Amino acid sequence: MLPTAQTQQLAAAIPTLQSRLLAWYGQQGRELPWRGDRDPYRIWISEVILQQTQVKTALPYYERFLAHFPNIATLASADLQQVLKVWQGLGYYARARHLHKAAQQLVEQHGGHFPTELAAVMALPGIGRTTAGGILSAAFDQPVAILDGNVKRVLSRLLALPVPPAKATKLLWQWSERLLSSAQPRDFNQALMDLGATVCTPRQPQCSACPWAIACQAHHHNLQAQIPMREATAPLPHKRIGVAVIRNTAGQVLIDRRREEGLLGGLWEFPGGKIEAGETIADCIRREIREELAIEIEVGAHLITVEHAYSHFRLTLYVHECRHRSGEAQPLESQEVRWVSVEELDQFPFPQANVQIVAAIQAREAGGPDQSP
Ligand code: SF4
């Protein structure tokens, strides 16, 4: 895929690239709370949060998570609902479920200690090759390579990769391994992540300040704006969802807990479902509530419309206030259903799109402004 002469040139430059990157890191590396840490548990938590979250957003969640669950034992013995509640707002909740399950495996299979072998680390739920490399290099200074989004971008540019990174994963892993300093793997991996996050940024990389500019093929050919090459992307599918905020005569609200497996598993939400072609919002809500909970309701006023985007689709939630008419709610398509007071809603972990519904209910209860668009 790469011309032989270019590969040889880069291979010959590896010692220079290593020393330049490490020197740059010594002066320009970011100060992050987990940087001085050698505790694999705390590093693991930081790595998992950073899998899909920017550092700036991650920092308060990292502190909060560790304040609640300071070590493997406390996380393993916590209730999953408590873990999801602490995670609320970070999204990609499978990460929290995997952390919880992995902590339990560490207690059961590794005596409550974090393993030091790559295969054992990768056998834990939610830990792929790059997260394992990040943990083992940062905690134990092991020469294990990484390939997160930042590193893919830097290496794609260094090599002037002529295809999107997803089509050259094997080659990128090989280069991440070849470039890695076996003498200082911890600092090298951290430096590479910092270079991608602060200098070799997605837009307008600062090549004039880059320690790798001397060998960077994209820079030499002025291709840094075109590399990494992008995959052709289709527009995200859009789902329209009717949602019910159902009240009983005591003023309580009905919520249900999603099944553990799948997207947003274990989180609470307001019941509802997809609006079928030709169906009104009210008809959809009545049908969904009958199918999911086996109760009859009266659909009332519009409460709020919520737009939310996930990585593979986007949602519009049309939320209506409803009254319970008959039947006892049953969890036909969920793990559990519960009638709760408006004050109690804050105690349950909800996905981000539902947090706005909670706020609208509380505002309505307090006599606040109508949140209708
Ligand atoms: S020279 Fe520019 S494009 Fe190349 S690695 Fe450095 S910042 Fe990225």
The class (CATH top level) of 238-365 is alpha beta
- How far from 281 is each of 11, 175, 350, 359, CA to CA, in Å? 62, 53, 22, 21
DSSP string, 183-196: SSHHHHHHHHHHII
Task: Indicate if ligand 1 lies below 6 Å from the C-beta of 210.
Answer: yes
Average pLDDT of 104-120?
97
The class (CATH top level) of 4-220 is mainly alpha
What is the rounded CA–CA span in Å between residue 78 and residue 69?
8
245 CB-contact burial (10 Å; exposed 0-12 / middle 13-18 / buried 19+): buried
Whether the per-residue pLDDT at 35 is higher than 60: the answer is yes
> In whole angstroms, what separates CA 48 from the centre of its chain?
8
What is the rounded CA–CA span in Å between residue 350 and residue 363?
17
DSSP symbol at 206: -
Residue appearing with tokens 């590479």:
192
Question: Which of 80-89, 172-181, 260-269 has maximum average pLDDT?
Answer: 172-181
Which has more confidence, 198 or 370? 198
pLDDT at site 91: 85
Structure tokens at 178: 């070849």
What is the rounded CA–CA span in Å between residue 93 and residue 75?
15
**pLDDT tens digits, 248-291:** 999 999 999 999 877 788 999 999 999 998 999 999 999 999 99
Average pLDDT of 41-65?
94
Residue appearing with tokens 């971008």:
153
What is the rounded CA–CA span in Å between residue 150 and residue 147?
8
Q: How confident is the model at residue 236 (pLDDT cuts 50, 70, 90)?
A: confident
Task: Indicate if ligand 1 lies below 6 Å from the C-beta of 219.
Answer: yes
Residue appearing with tokens 């199918």:
291
Report CA torsion sign: 66, 72, 73, 75: positive
Average pLDDT of 174-179?
98
User: Judging by DSSP bridges, how do beta strands 253-257 and 268-269 pair with one another?
Assistant: antiparallel
User: Judging by DSSP bridges, how do beta strands 238-247 and 314-326 pair with one another?
Assistant: parallel
- CA 83 / ligand 1 centre spacing (Å): 39
Structure tokens at 241: 């969802």
Question: Domain residues of the chain, as ranges?
Answer: 4-220, 238-365
Average pLDDT of 362-372?
70
Q: What ranges in the chain are assigned the alpha helix state H?
A: 4-28, 40-50, 55-68, 72-77, 80-87, 94-110, 118-122, 129-140, 149-159, 169-179, 185-194, 217-220, 281-293, 352-365
**pLDDT tens digits, 322-341:** 999 999 999 999 999 999 99
Nearest to 133 by CA among 93, 193, 59: 193
Overall pTM surpassing 0.75 (yes/no): yes
- CA 187 / ligand 1 centre spacing (Å): 19
pLDDT at site 262: 75
Per the annotation, the verdict on 47 as an active-site residue is: yes
How many CA atoms lie less than 13 Å away from 325 in the CB half-sphere? Answer: 11
pLDDT at site 368: 54
What is the rounded CA–CA span in Å between residue 162 and residue 175?
15
What is the residue with the minimal CA distance to atom 8 of ligand 1? 200
Whether the per-residue pLDDT at 369 is higher than 70: the answer is no
pLDDT at site 362: 94
What is the rounded CA–CA span in Å between residue 154 and residue 299?
53
Q: How confident is the model at residue 232 (pLDDT cuts 50, 70, 90)?
A: confident
Which has more confidence, 235 or 222? 222
- Mean per-residue pLDDT over the chain, rounded: 94
Q: Under DSSP, is residue 300 helix (H, G, I), strand (E, B) or coil?
A: strand
Active-site residue, selected from the candidate residues 47, 288, 292, 321: 47
* Nearest ligand 1 atom, CA 227: 3
Q: How confident is the model at residue 372 (pLDDT cuts 50, 70, 90)?
A: very low
- CA 178 / ligand 1 centre spacing (Å): 18
